[in-house]
Amino acid sequence: MATANKVGVTTFTTPSDREVVVTRVVDAPRRLVFEAWTSPEHVPHWMLGPSGWTMPVCEIDLRPGGEWHFVWRRADGTEMGMRGVYREVTPPERLISTESWGGDWPETLNTLVLSEKDGKTTITQTVLYPSKEARDAALGAELAARQQAAVRSVLQDNLKKREQQIQAEISATQTKNLELHKEIARWRSLPRGNGRHALAKQLEQQVQSNNDHLVELNRQLDEVRTRRDKMS
C-alpha cells in the first residue's frame, strides 16, 4: 500500500509553482468528515495544533459568500487568528474558501475535496498562493515548524521512556525491600546465636541503602515530570 493511502499519514506535494496539496486518509465516512470540518461544535476539538492552545472563537457561516473566523489562544494569553470567505459549499464532497492570517501573510484560496472508498475518506486540501515566492515562504515556515515539532516529539518520547524506567526501578527496589524485611523478621525469630543479629544488621543496612536509592529515584522522577510539563 502506498504511503499516501495509509490511514493517518499526511503527505505534502507541490504540483505547480503556486500550490501545496495536503492529503490524508481517515477511517471515517466523508459525511462525518465534512461535518467535523464545517461544524463549530466539532472544529475546536481537533484543529488545535501544539499542546496548550484552545479555540475560543469558531464562527462558521456555511454558505457561498458566508464568512468563517477562528481564533486560537494559549495559556499565557497569546492569540492568533485567521478568517476567510466561502466561495463554494457542496456537502459532503467539496469546499472552497479564502484563508487569511492577516499582516504580511498572503491570502490563499483553499479547495477541500473529500472522496470516500470502503468507509474511509481521502482528504485532499489544495492551497493556492498568489505567487511562487509566497508559496515557498509558507513551505519554509511549515518545514521549520514541522522540524521543531519533530524534535519536541522525540524529546517528549525520551522523557516518557525515562519516566517509565525510573518507575520500574522504584517498583523493583520497593519489592526488594519487602523481601528484605521478611528475611530480617525470619532471622530475628530464630534462637539466639548463629550470628542471627549480625546477619539481620547487614540486611537492615541493605534496606537503608535501598531507601537512599529510592529518594534519589524519586528526585529524578520529579525532575523528568517537571521537564515534561514545561514542554506541554
- Mean pLDDT along residues 142-150: 57
pLDDT at 139: 80
Contact residues for 135 (Cβ-Cβ < 8 A; gap 6+)? 14, 17, 18, 19, 20, 129
DSSP string of 79-141, one letter each residue? EEEEEEEEEEEETTTEEEEEEB-STTSPPEEEEEEEEEETTEEEEEEEEE-SSHHHHHHHHHH
Report the distance separating Cα 204 and Cα 181, nearest Å: 8
Give the position of cell 525470619: 186
Q: Is the pLDDT of residue 5 over 80?
A: no
Which pTM value belongs to this model?
A: 0.60
Buried b (16+ CB within 10 A) or exposed e, 196-222: eeebbeebeeebeebeeeeeebeebbe
Q: Is the pLDDT of residue 26 over 60?
A: yes
Question: Per-domain residue ranges for the chain?
Answer: 3-130, 151-231
Q: What tens digit of pLDDT does each residue of 191-226 get?
A: 766 666 778 788 889 999 999 999 999 999 998 888
Residues 185/204, Cβ–Cβ less than 8 Å: no
Complete edge-to-edge strand list for the sheet that includes strand 120-128: 10-13, 19-26, 120-128, 108-117, 94-99, 79-90, 67-74, 53-60
Q: What tens digit of pLDDT does each residue of 115-124 get?
A: 999 999 999 9
Of 23-37, 140-154, 166-180, minimum mean pLDDT range: 140-154
Tell me the range of 1-5, 73-77, 145-149 where mean pLDDT is highest. 73-77
Q: What tens digit of pLDDT does each residue of 60-85 get?
A: 999 999 999 999 998 888 899 999 99
- Chain-centroid distance, C-alpha 153: 8
- Higher pLDDT among residues 137 and 231, named by residue: 137
Residue 86: pLDDT band with limits 50, 70, 90:
very high
- Higher pLDDT among residues 227 and 112, named by residue: 112
Which has the closest alpha carbon to 220: 151, 152, 150, 173? Answer: 173
- Its CATH class, for the domain covering 3-130, is alpha beta
Assigned C-alpha cell, 5: 493511502
Q: Is the pLDDT of residue 1 over 50?
A: no
Assigned C-alpha cell, 152: 519536541
Q: What angle do CA 203, 208, 213 make, to 5 degrees?
A: 125
